[in-house]
Structure 1
Amino acid sequence: LATKVATYAQQLIQEYPAQGPPGDPHESWDAVQQQLGCCGWNRRQDWDHHEGPSGDTDGAETVACSCLKAPNSTHGTPGVLPHGRCPVAAPSDIFPKGCAAGVRDWLAANLITIVGVCVGIGLGELALLMLSMFLVRNLDPHYEKLLRGF
């Protein structure tokens, strides 16, 4: 599973648009990088091997704009980052860690909640199954005669 997720993340990075509005998977990747404060899957250098739409690599070093630490505005609220790829100004402006470690840490921190939700859904389905079995067993005997007629 971990290798499939890593392969999918690397594919998203390779297909990331150079400019303009990204697709839904790329917006999700932007949200992951911003929420976890990470860049690339393993490290920020994952963005160095990006090829443009024509198949050639860009000359300047660029990363997804979601890799950049959001600038603070004068009122203390974070600024809005553009979509697409942004040139690297200073290494200190980029999140230092890769998202693989961030995702692993987030899963470890929320494991009890995730398991609790899964168990709750399973118990709800079991309760509905028992209810349907109870209803089938307590049908009116004339109902079976109606079914046999078809």
Structure 2
Amino acid sequence: MKYKANSPEEYIRQLPEDRQEAIEKLRKTIKENLPKGFEETMSYGMIGYVIPHSIYPSGYHVNPKEPLPFMSIASQKNFIGLYHMGIYSYPDILAWFQQEYPKYVKTKLDMGKGCIRFKKMGNIPYDLIAELCRKITLEDYLRKYETEIIGIKK
């Protein structure tokens, strides 16, 4: 679901009550564990964590006016989504996450390429997400983005 919001706080206020606490806790987990340099913003109708233009002026190759996205959280119709470009870009981190997930949650992992879906608010593994946030530094992600995603040769 799309919410029109200019800030994460405004976004959260619009959510159904049962989603507000989960999104607030997820937001806090991400902010406390994401490496330095990433910036919280509203992007694509979600709470996003990006590499700002002040660090990477080229922006996102799909739309250079946008900062480079890394991670987002959103309340969708039937789930809370965690969108993580690192899981999509790093097969070793994806494998690690898939191996660790059952240690935190008893239900089957529901995910797409870069989207992890949580249909039950009580099944969000905040400690695992905290660890996932710490796995990729801003510098590592930029290097991966430039060499493998957009093909800049250095």
Larger radius of gyration: 1
Please state which structure has a larger fraction of its residues in strand: 2
Query: Counting helix residues as a fraction of each chain, which structure ranks higher?
Result: 1
- Whether TM-score is above 0.5 comes out as no
* TM-score normalised by structure 2 residue count: 0.27
